[in-house]
Structure 1
Amino acid sequence: MMREMRVLSPTAILGYGFPISSFEAGLEKEPDVIAVDGGSIDPGPYYLGSGKSFTDRIAVKRDLESILKAGVERNIPVIVGTAGGSGATPHLNWCVEIVREIVEEANLTCKLAVIPAQVDKEFLKAQIAEDNVKVLEPGISLSVEEIQKSTHIVGQIGVEPIIKALEEEAQVIIAGRAYDPTVFAALPIKEGFDKGLALHMGKILECASIAAIPGSGSDCMIAYLREDHFLLEPLNPTRKCTTTSVAAHTLYEKSNPYILPGPGGYLDLHETKFEQYSETTVKVSGSKYIKEHPYTIKLEGAKPIGYRTVSIAGARDPIFIKEIDQIVEGVRERVADNFRTIESNYELFFTIYGKNGVMGELEPEKMNPTEIGIIIEAVADREDLANTICSFARSTMLHFGYPGRVSTAGNLAFPYSPSDLEAGVVYQFNVHHLLEVDDPYHLFPIKVEMIGGRTND
């Protein structure tokens, strides 16, 4: 009989939600593990730097409540990676707190494993001294100063610590920042399935039904991993997987279509085949895992660089729109002249939506829009200065004179009052490097404990 392992992915990210009907359809398939990605660095450096989740607590609890109840009651392992959105210590603690809350409220009992991913700064400084921290192109070398400026630095957990937690018979595993495919691949690899196929399967499952047509990150997907291939099947009858949709998602966020790097090695997809297995299911085979030495772990870190204030406005006057580039430069000059004596640093940005707000100078289409949206953004090393620069730029553009101007009442329409919005601290990614290690477990100590406890009626 052909060996098979079934892996259920409820949603692309905890908090994105999923139809209960799809989840129940997945449970009817009798999965061997329920795994889910808890986050991403896609929303930018703010969340890693600030220690806050970009997903809402109520939404995350809703998802976890269904997942934990199903997993614990059916004795199916539940594995969560990149807990809390970014996987640093505050994110991990936030997610674990929700798990404990659910377990208590639902009167469950389970063995919980927690795997932190935050990297100690002093340890990392020592690794720089030993030349164990390498540049990820096109970056620059990591310095002790940048480490010190970072609020949180995490390392991407590979499959090894998660496998170790499974070997300790953990029923629920909550991991900090993890390489996305690992939470889906760990149990299959532990059970002897091909590592290349398992990780490629995880690469697609991490985004749940985004790899289906129509795609959605808020719906469930199940995979059937076998000896020499895996199958992908969406659990909502309105969706289907096609060879194109699955192959396209394999390329998702990758600069090389054949090489997908991760902790300790990379996926080689030169011989990968995508075949239509049924109307809704795709078969994938031929993916290989290539082990590398030394074992490397990707590091991610963020630092605060100042404060941001923004003002949002719109304009529809065709003469104003025609002159917008000159108006922006004129406003810049007025701001620079007015604050030339200030000692603090600031930056002023204008984003013109409808013209080139997405692509900027790379925009290939030279458009003549009917209306434009304008975001004025000031970033400064002091919050009061960011407020001042944004306010002055906004008022200057509001009343700026330009050739052909007829109305003098004001150039801009503001959708909000107040027109200037404080966005708080601005963070920047400053650690994006590889750490060479001898031991894939050392950075990720595992804490296992029994939580909950059924009461006697």
Structure 2
Amino acid sequence: MLEELRILSPTAILGYGFPLASFEKGMAKKPHVIAMDAGSTDPGPYYLGSGISFTDNRAVKRDLEIMIPAAQEAKIPLIIGSAGGAGGKSHVDLTLGLIREIIQEKQLSALKIAIINSEISPVFLLKAYREGKIHPLNADNKVTETLIKESSAIVGQMGEGPFIEALNHHADIILAGRAYDPSVFAALAIKEGFDKGLALHLGKILECAAIAALPGSGSDSMLGILRKDHFDVEPLAENRVCTTLSVAAHTLYEKSDPYHLPGPGGELDLTACEFKQLDARRVRVSGTKFIPTKKYFIKLEGARKIGYRTIAIAGVTDPIMIANIDSILIGVKERVFDNFQDSNFQEFYLNFNVYGKNGIALLPEISSDQVLPDEIGIVIEAVAATEEEASAICSFARSTALHFGYEGRISTAGNLAFPFSPSDANMGEVYEFSIYHLLEVESEVALFPIQYVIIGEME
């Protein structure tokens, strides 16, 4: 068994970029693997449902053009999880196309690519549902056959099992669909016999690269060194440092329980975890344990189309209107619904996001003794079954708000200022997360099939 295993995390998400100097410094430390996450649910359900990547192809290709030759020269694997943003089949295929381009353009010698699909068929999931193997994450999170059938795509969040299988088959590049972020980084370490709890915890820190450093950045590199009973992390840019606070804080990143971090097949128990400052830039972590669950569960993510969206953006400077904006917009909404109640439109959604007041944070009503904002911005949003219906509703809401009368109003020319002409913009399809549940599985490797291809010139 290796005494230590070094893992290089170049960037928080493939396509977010990294300074070449940081990456080269990481490679000089002779890592055993280059690993990275390539996706997230943070941008919402659109990208999973539509099959479109939320990262730019040119940015992704730039990162890969640096990493693929470096991994080949060092004779170490390159592991990518949650390819293309959402990890569906179309996202994996898109990333594979870029990898193929790079290998051919740079005339690299042959590389063995392991392609791990994470998209799960509705037929399989309907059978699992009827067998009681799909479980809600909370009491209100009920799954139905209709939700499964209407979902455009459903992916499973794989653990380390399929990655280890691909490593056992000596893959040079592992390109996976949706994956539990820490598993991407921990797979080689677990395969080599290192403690699973420490390996996954290190993966949790490395998943966002230098975001766990100060100043944090998702576009810079981080190195993790795993040993028998601890791991060390250090940023690779000279202007960044890791502190016990920054590393501990990232351990809790996107988690509600500070001591238990659930994942495929179990959870990390942090009750005995310790963070130690080694020097000005490095932190050592120990004490993390992995507690397996009796049954093996993975998380499912699915998206379904619910219609089309049209928006209009407007500004308001009238202090009287600003002071009464809530009641005014209630009146506008009532007028819109009254106007379309006898139409043949299907159910639609109308919302006003008021920036400067409750656009992001929900604040209490403005009291008479508060200082009003000098201006507010309003995003009018209409969602309907068709693009034409969404546009009609948004247009009517916009014109109604523009000329809506209210007590104390002085100007009759218009209430709103529009920064763009045309004022209304079609935003395309709208998706919602339809499936966000746990699936009980017998075998990860069987659920996530692996395809092997050889790309490049044979020596």
Q: Is the 8 A contact 1:397 1:411 kept in 2?
A: yes
Give the Cα separation in 1 of the matches to 2:124 and 2:444. Answer: 15
RMSD: 1.5
| Corresponding residue for residue 18 of structure 2 | 18
- Map residues 39-50 of structure 1 onto 2, 5 A cutoff: 39-50=39-50
| Corresponding residue for residue 310 of structure 1 | 311
Q: Which amino acid aligns with 1:450?
A: I
1:378 aligns with 2:382: yes
For residue 448 of structure 1, the aligned residue among 425, 431, 452 is 452
Give the Cα separation in 2 of the matches to 1:229 and 1:288. Answer: 11
Shift of 1:318: 1.1
Q: How many residues align?
A: 455
Worse-superposed segment, 338-347 or 389-398: 338-347
Q: Secondary structure at the match of 1:442?
A: helix
Q: Secondary structure at the match of 2:445?
A: coil
Q: Which amino acid aligns with 2:236?
A: L
| Corresponding residue for residue 181 of structure 2 | 180
Shift of 1:403: 1.7
| Corresponding residue for residue 283 of structure 1 | 284
Give the Cα separation in 2 of the matches to 1:254 and 1:423. Answer: 32
Give the Cα separation in 2 of the matches to 1:7 and 1:139. Answer: 39
Worse-superposed segment, 36-45 or 133-142: 133-142
Q: Is the 8 A contact 2:357 2:363 kept in 1?
A: no
Give the Cα separation in 2 of the matches to 1:286 and 1:223. Answer: 16
Task: Give the percent of matched residue pairs that are identical in Structure 1 and Structure 2.
Answer: 57
Structure 2 unaligned segments of length 5 or more: list them.
none
Shift of 1:390: 0.3
| Corresponding residue for residue 160 of structure 2 | 159
Deviations 1:280-304 (A, max 9, x none): 0111000011111211111110000
Give the Cα separation in 2 of the matches to 1:373 and 1:141. Answer: 36
| Corresponding residue for residue 348 of structure 2 | 346
| TM-score (normalised: structure 2) | 0.97
| Corresponding residue for residue 273 of structure 2 | 272
Give the Cα separation in 2 of the matches to 1:445 and 1:152. Answer: 17
Give the Cα separation in 2 of the matches to 1:367 and 1:36. Answer: 48
Worse-superposed segment, 446-455 or 407-416: 446-455
For residue 433 of structure 2, the aligned residue among 422, 429, 437 is 429
- Map residues 171-320 of structure 1 onto 2, 5 A cutoff: 171-320=172-321
Deviations 1:9-56 (A, max 9, x none): 000001111111111111111111000101001110000111110111
Q: Secondary structure at the match of 1:270?
A: coil
Q: Is the 8 A contact 1:6 1:223 kept in 2?
A: yes
| Corresponding residue for residue 387 of structure 1 | 391
Q: Is the 8 A contact 1:51 1:88 kept in 2?
A: yes
Give the Cα separation in 1 of the matches to 2:199 and 2:261. Answer: 13
| TM-score (normalised: structure 1) | 0.97
Change (3 A) 1:69 1:331: same
- Map residues 102-181 of structure 1 onto 2, 5 A cutoff: 102-108=102-108, 109-181=110-182
Give the Cα separation in 1 of the matches to 2:270 and 2:123. Answer: 38
Give the Cα separation in 2 of the matches to 1:174 and 1:238. Answer: 32
Change (3 A) 1:341 1:429: same
Shift of 1:359: 2.1
Q: Secondary structure at the match of 2:65?
A: helix
Q: Is the 8 A contact 1:296 1:436 kept in 2?
A: yes
Q: Is the 8 A contact 1:356 1:363 kept in 2?
A: no
Q: Secondary structure at the match of 1:142?
A: coil
Q: Is the 8 A contact 2:185 2:206 kept in 1?
A: yes
Give the Cα separation in 2 of the matches to 1:227 and 1:261. Answer: 23
